[in-house]
Amino acid sequence: MAEHHEKKEESLMEKIADKIHGGDDSSSSSSDSDHDDHPKKSSSPASPSSMKSKINRLFGREKPVHKVLGGGKPADVFLWRNKKISGGVLGGATAAWVLFELLEYHLLTLVCHALILALAVLFLWSNASAFINKTPPRIPQVHIPEDPVLQVAAALRNEINCGLATLREIASGRDLKKFLAIIAGLWVLSIVGSCCNFLTLFYIVFVLLHTVPVFYEKYEDKVDDFGEKAWIEIKKQWAVFDAKVLSKIPKGPLKDKKKA
């Protein structure tokens, strides 16, 4: 009887174990089937920027507009990062243009009047200091470190030499397209200069620097898309001009030697 009872307990334990393992297998198989029925979703949805077609930036630009303008405080002023400073600079330039251009106030006259006013104030202050028991005015001395001046002079020298080398290369006629483009640009600039004087031209450039970059940064994609289409059309017209005109111009001996 005891052995029969032990056999019953063992068979009962085996049935319970089989049920447990069978339940685990069924749950695992159901989870696998559910996993197969429902395909895995992507963990991160595709961003709108990745779905956008890549737009070619103007002039092959890869850096942001702020970096193209040199970064730092000048770029902040041009891009209106601080509206008070940018507005003050543009307002000061506008006031100077109105003073010298519209009111026809000359620079030498302005400097002389400012110096007369400063000397008069200093004279009155120096002579009245004994009566009002105040110290006479102290005129500060200007101290400019030598190293920054030498660095600016060296950088300016390098830029001048680079400009002269570029001018020499253009004048040699090796690149006819660049030569014609420079001639056309200088001709357009001469026409603009004949319509207005240097101060007005400088003020127009100054206003453009304070308006065009911030407008371009705001509507960057639209402007680049339009610029890409315009550049494709310019290339087509240039190819026609090259085939009909430039290709018929006899080339110099320098290029023939290079090809040989």
Contact 97, 200 (CB under 8 A): yes
pLDDT tens digits along 143-177: 888 888 899 899 999 999 998 998 888 888 788 88
Q: Report the pLDDT value the prediction gives residue 95, as an integer from 0 to 100.
A: 93
pLDDT tens digits along 74-105: 888 888 888 999 999 999 999 999 998 888 88
Q: Report the pLDDT value the prediction gives residue 116, as an integer from 0 to 100.
A: 96
Q: Report the pLDDT value the prediction gives residue 18, as an integer from 0 to 100.
A: 59
Residues of the chain with confidence (pLDDT) below 50: 1-7, 23-53, 257-258
Average pLDDT, the chain: 76
Is the pTM higher than 0.75? no
